């Protein structure tokens, strides 16, 4: 109500300054929330050995020979990958609203819209529910990719007893007031309200892909979403939320390297230091780039940032940027390369694996000579993210999960292809 009063007072002030106010009826589309009661929502987690086919790709995490794959909004698939030539699905964990995950000391942490659910992985093939941290992410909502606003007031009014689990795109006709400066208010009958736009891992840790919003460091979990970073202390496998700080607008990814956190945003790279208080990351610097979605990975004091266009990501720029981060207070852009539509990436043993027009593999000699050192190119798939570990590359794409042996860069071998539910089994051709 205070918000509405402030908006109304602002309107009164503008009336005194401008006598050019007009009323108009506008028909518009808006995302209306679909609710689930918190009771039903919090009883919905189920672990089953009954295998479900993977229908949509999402975030990935590798731990002790098993690959955990998030199917957005649905849950986690457990893939036994101890024999990467013949991977097998062995379990499914139903988690309503899941998008991200991280693993440390045989405990898997996964988001479930507003909550965090955590599992015992003593048997990696059979996750066991340990507990749920309620309201860990109180502002979490399903992603919106259609570009329309959502009904903030309805979401807020239903937040006490319910959770938003989906959206229905509706159409409304309502009266607005516009002044000569172009400012708009919505008249709801008795008060003025606003329209809100949504933006859209001594210890054993799992390896996350570069698209993750979960980062691990010294028994702490750092989770980014929109313009917030939530910080959890992991004590004996139990998460405890200790802090939440404001960070850059619409942070998309996080990568932990050394004593620093590297955050990817649509407008640039943010660097936070963890050398002091682990519960209060210290902002060190930022490096701006053109607007676009951008995961980041760091190795040998070089940050690799991929920027892509399309969907909610912004403009038409598609490129790979290499940044010197040896001094985190003064990051320095070294070079950028035009790409097709790059997404996830990984670096291991002076080798860069990039999801762009399929999969591209580069030897890293000098930043300025990257394109001249293309090792292999596997086109024909929309690659999303990769994990590189001990000469094994695990890649998730629209058609399925591809795995490669890169122990010999002169002869990279495809080990297996695990198809998505609707994807045809098809061997991809290598174009070096």
**What's the number of domains the chain is made of?**
3
Q: Rounded to an integer, what distance in angstroms lies between the CA atom of residue 381 and that of residue 402?
A: 10
99 found inside a domain? no
Q: Which two tokens stand for residue 391?
A: 């000469």
Q: Work out the average pLDDT over 91-101.
A: 96
- pLDDT for position 293: 66
The pLDDT value given to residue 425:
45
Question: What confidence tens digit (pLDDT) does each residue in 245-293 have?
Answer: 999 778 889 999 999 999 998 888 999 999 989 999 999 999 987 666 6
Alpha helices in 196-292 (DSSP H): none
Q: Are residues 273 and 398 in the same domain?
A: no
128 inside domain = no
Name the domain boundary from 309, 342, 375. 342
Q: What 3-state DSSP class applies to 308?
A: strand
* Mean pLDDT score, 334-359: 96
Residue with tokens 């086109």: 379
The answer to whether the Cα torsion of 382, 199, 247, 203 is positive or negative is negative
Same domain, 315 and 406: no
DSSP state of 293: B
Q: Is residue 88 part of a domain?
A: no
Query: Domain for residue 135, yes or no?
Result: no
Q: Are residues 250 and 372 in the same domain?
A: no
The residue whose two tokens read 């009661």 is 37
Residues 292 and 234 in one domain: yes
pLDDT tens column, 105-152 = 999 999 999 999 999 999 999 999 999 999 999 888 888 877 788 888
pLDDT tens, residue by residue, 1-60: 434 433 333 444 444 444 567 777 778 899 999 999 999 999 999 999 888 999 998 999
Q: Quick check: is 318 in a domain?
A: yes
338/431 same-domain check: no
**Are the CB atoms for 129 and 228 separated by under 8 Å?**
no
Which of 342, 372, 390 is the C-terminal boundary of a domain? 342
Please tell me whether residues 189 and 215 are part of one structural domain. Answer: no
- Write down the residue that tokens 């702490």 correspond to: 220
* Residues 151 and 293 both lie in one domain: no
Token pair belonging to 87:
């991977």
Query: What range defines the domain where residue 371 resides?
Result: 364-432
Strand partners, 198: none
- For the stretch 173-193, what's the b/e string if a residue is b when 16 or more beta carbons lie within 10 angstroms of its beta carbon? eeebbebeeeeebbeeeeebb
Residue 428 has pLDDT above 50, yes or no: no
Those residues whose C-beta lies under 8 Å from the C-beta of residue 416, and which sit 6 or more positions away, are: 84, 85, 86, 87, 401, 402, 403
Q: What pLDDT score was predicted for residue 181?
A: 52
Q: Encode 337-365 in three state secondary structure.
A: EECCCCCCEEEECCEEEEECCCEEEEECC
pLDDT in tens, 85-94: 999 999 999 9
pLDDT at 312: 55
pLDDT tens, residue by residue, 201-239 = 345 678 999 999 999 999 999 999 888 999 999 988 999
**Residue 318 sits in a domain of what CATH number?**
2.120.10.80
Quote the distance between the C-alpha of residue 33 and its chain's center.
21
Domain match, 372 and 430 both: yes
CA-to-CA dists, residue 388 to 83, 164, 202, 292, 404, angstroms: 16, 36, 22, 25, 9
Phi, psi (deg, nearest 5) at residue 329: -85, -15
Answer yes or no: is 29 within a domain: yes
* 294 token code pair: 């951008």
DSSP calls for 48-97: ESS-----S---EEEETTEEEEEETTTEEEEEE-SSTTS-EEEEEEE-TT
pLDDT at 13: 42
Pair (26, 173) in one structural domain: yes
Strand partners, 177: 23, 185
Q: Are residues 424 and 281 in the same domain?
A: no
| pLDDT confidence bin for 366, thresholds 50/70/90 | very high
Distance CA 210, CA 201 (A): 10
165 part of a folded domain: yes
Shared domain check, 223 and 183? no
Is 286 found in the same domain as 174? no
Higher-pLDDT residue of 159 and 2 is 159
Gap between the Cα atoms of 92 and 197, Å rounded: 34
Establish if 233 belongs to a structural domain: yes
Mean of the pLDDT values across residues 299-328?
Answer: 86
């Amino acid at each position: 109500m205070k918000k509405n009063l402030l908006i109304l007072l602002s309107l009164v002030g503008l009336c005194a300054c401008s006598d050019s106010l007009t009323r108009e009826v506008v028909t518009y589309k808006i995302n209306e929330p679909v609710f689930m009661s918190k009771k039903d929502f919090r009883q919905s987690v189920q672990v089953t050995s009954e295998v479900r086919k993977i229908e949509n790709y999402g975030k990935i995490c590798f731990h002790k020979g098993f690959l955990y794959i998030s199917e957005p909004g649905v849950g986690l698939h457990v893939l036994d990958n101890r024999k990467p030539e013949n991977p097998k699905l062995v379990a499914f964990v139903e988690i309503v609203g899941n998008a991200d995950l991280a693993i440390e000391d045989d405990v898997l942490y996964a988001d479930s819209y507003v909550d965090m659910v955590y599992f015992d992985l003593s048997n990696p093939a059979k996750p066991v529910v340990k507990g749920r941290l309620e309201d860990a992410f109180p502002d979490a909502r399903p992603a919106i990719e259609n570009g329309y606003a959502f009904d903030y007031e309805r979401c807020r009014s239903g937040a006490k007893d319910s959770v938003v689990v989906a959206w229905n795109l509706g159409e409304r006709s309502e009266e607005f007031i516009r002044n000569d400066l172009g400012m708009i208010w919505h008249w709801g009958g008795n008060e003025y309200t606003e329209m809100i736009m949504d933006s859209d891992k001594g210890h054993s840790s799992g390896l996350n892909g570069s698209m993750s919003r979960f980062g691990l460091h010294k028994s702490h979990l750092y989770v980014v979403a929109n313009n917030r970073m939530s910080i959890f202390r992991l004590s004996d496998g139990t998460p405890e939320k200790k802090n939440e700080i404001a960070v850059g607008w619409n942070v998309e990814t996080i990568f932990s390297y050394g004593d620093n956190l590297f955050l990817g945003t649509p407008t640039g790279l943010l660097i936070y230091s963890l050398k002091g208080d682990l519960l209060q990351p210290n902002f060190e610097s930022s490096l701006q780039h053109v607007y676009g979605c951008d995961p980041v990975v760091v190795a040998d004091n070089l940050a690799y940032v991929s920027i892509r266009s399309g969907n909610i990501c912004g403009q038409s720029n598609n490129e790979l940027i290499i940044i010197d981060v040896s001094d985190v207070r003064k990051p320095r852009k070294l070079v950028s390369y035009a790409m097709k539509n790059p997404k996830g990436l990984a670096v291991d043993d002076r080798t860069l694996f990039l999801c762009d027009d399929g999969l591209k593999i580069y030897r890293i000699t000098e930043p300025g000579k990257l394109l001249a050192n293309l090792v292999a190119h596997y086109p024909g798939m929309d690659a999303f993210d990769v994990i590189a570990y001990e000469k094994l590359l695990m890649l998730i794409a629209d058609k399925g999960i591809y795995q490669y042996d890169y122990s010999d860069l002169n002869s990279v071998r495809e080990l297996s292809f695990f198809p998505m539910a609707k994807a045809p089994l098809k061997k991809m051709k290598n174009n070096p």
